Chain A
Amino acid sequence: MGAWRHFPILMIAIPLLGAVLLPFLGYVRENWVPYAAALPLGASSLLGLLLIGRIPSDGYLSYHMGGWEPPFGIEIRVDYAGFFVMLVVCGITMLSLLYSRRYISREVSPGRRTAYYVLFLLMSAAMIGFVATGDIFNLFVFMEILALSSYALVAITGNRNAVRAAFKYLLMGAPSSIMVLLAIGLLYSATGTLNMADLSARIAESGYTEVLTVSYILFVIGFGVKAALFPLHMWLPDAHSIAPSPISALLSGLLVEVCTFALLRITFSVFTREATALVGGTAEAVGVAAAAAVLYGGIMAILQKDLKMMIAYSTISHIGYIFLGLTAFTAEGLTGAMYHMLDHGLAKACLFLCAGNFIYVKGYRRIEDLRGAWREMPWTCFAFAVASISVIAIPPTAGFISKWYLILGNVKAGKWLYTAVLLTGSILAAVYCLRVIYYMFFQAGGEGKWEDAVRDAPPSMLVPVWLLSLGTLFFGVFSYLLIPSLLKASAYLL
Chain B
Amino acid sequence: MRLLHNYHYAAAMILFCLGLHTVIVRRNIIKKLIGLNIMETSVFFFYISLGYLKEGIAPIRVGGAEPARMVNPIPQALILTGIVVAVSVTALALSMVILLYRQYGTLDVDRLMREEEKGEAVGGGEV
Across the two chains, which residue of chain A brings its CB closest to B16? A182
Contact, CB under 8 Å: B99 / A171: no
CA distance A223 to B84 in the complex (A): 21
CA distance A160 to B127 in the complex (A): 10
Contact, CB under 8 Å: A158 / B99: yes
Contact, CB under 8 Å: B85 / A185: no
Given contacts A148-B88, A148-B89, A175-B39, contact A185 B104 (CB under 8 A): no
- Report A-chain residues with C-beta under 8 Å of the C-beta of B100: 160, 163-164, 167
> From residue B103, how far is it (CB to closest CB) to chain A in Å?
4
Q: Which of A107, A137, A165 has the most CB of B within 10 A?
A: A137
Given contacts A137-B78, A189-B50, contact A148 B92 (CB under 8 A): yes
- Report B-chain residues with C-beta under 8 Å of the C-beta of A182: 16, 43, 46
Contact, CB under 8 Å: B96 / A166: yes
Contact, CB under 8 Å: A188 / B50: yes
CA distance A211 to B12 in the complex (A): 14
Contact, CB under 8 Å: B89 / A160: no
Give the residue of A144, A167, A366 whose beta carbon is less than 8 angstroms from that of B93.
Answer: A167
CA distance A466 to B96 in the complex (A): 36
Across the two chains, which residue of chain B brings its CB closest to A159? B127
CA distance A170 to B55 in the complex (A): 41
Contact, CB under 8 Å: B127 / A359: yes
B125 CB-CB contact with A under 8 Å: yes
Q: Which of A157, A177, A178, A309 has the most CB of B within 10 A?
A: A178
The size of the chain B interface, using a CB distance under 8 A, is: 37
Contact, CB under 8 Å: B103 / A157: no
Contact, CB under 8 Å: A241 / B89: no
Using a CB-CB cutoff of 8 Å, which residues 83-121 of chain B contact chain A? 85, 88-89, 92-93, 96-97, 99-100, 103-104, 112, 115-116, 119
> From residue B117, how far is it (CB to closest CB) to chain A in Å?
12
Give the residue of B43, B93, B116 whose beta carbon is less than 8 angstroms from that of A178.
Answer: B43
CA distance A442 to B56 in the complex (A): 77
Across the two chains, which residue of chain B brings its CB closest to A309? B124
Given contacts A107-B127, A174-B89, A241-B125, contact A164 B50 (CB under 8 A): no
Q: Is the interface of B mostly helix, strand, loop or mixed?
A: helix
Contact, CB under 8 Å: A306 / B78: no
A271 CB-CB contact with B under 8 Å: no
CA distance A189 to B23 in the complex (A): 26
- Report A-chain residues with C-beta under 8 Å of the C-beta of B64: none
Contact, CB under 8 Å: A163 / B103: yes
A421 CB-CB contact with B under 8 Å: no
- Report B-chain residues with C-beta under 8 Å of the C-beta of A178: 36, 39-40, 43
CA distance A185 to B9 in the complex (A): 11
Given contacts A137-B78, A163-B100, A185-B43, contact A171 B32 (CB under 8 A): yes
CA distance A316 to B34 in the complex (A): 30
CA distance A160 to B103 in the complex (A): 6
- Could you tell me which A residues sit within 8 Å of B by CB distance? 107, 137, 141, 144, 148, 151-152, 155, 157-167, 170-171, 174-175, 177-178, 181-182, 185, 188-189, 194, 238, 241-242, 305-306, 309, 359, 363, 365-366
- Could you tell me which B residues sit within 8 Å of A by CB distance? 16, 20, 23, 29, 32, 36, 39-40, 43, 46-47, 50, 74-75, 78, 81-82, 85, 88-89, 92-93, 96-97, 99-100, 103-104, 112, 115-116, 119, 123-127
> What are 14 A-B contacts defined by CB distance under 8 Å?
A144-B89, A157-B127, A160-B104, A161-B126, A166-B96, A167-B100, A171-B32, A178-B39, A185-B43, A185-B75, A306-B124, A309-B124, A365-B123, A365-B125
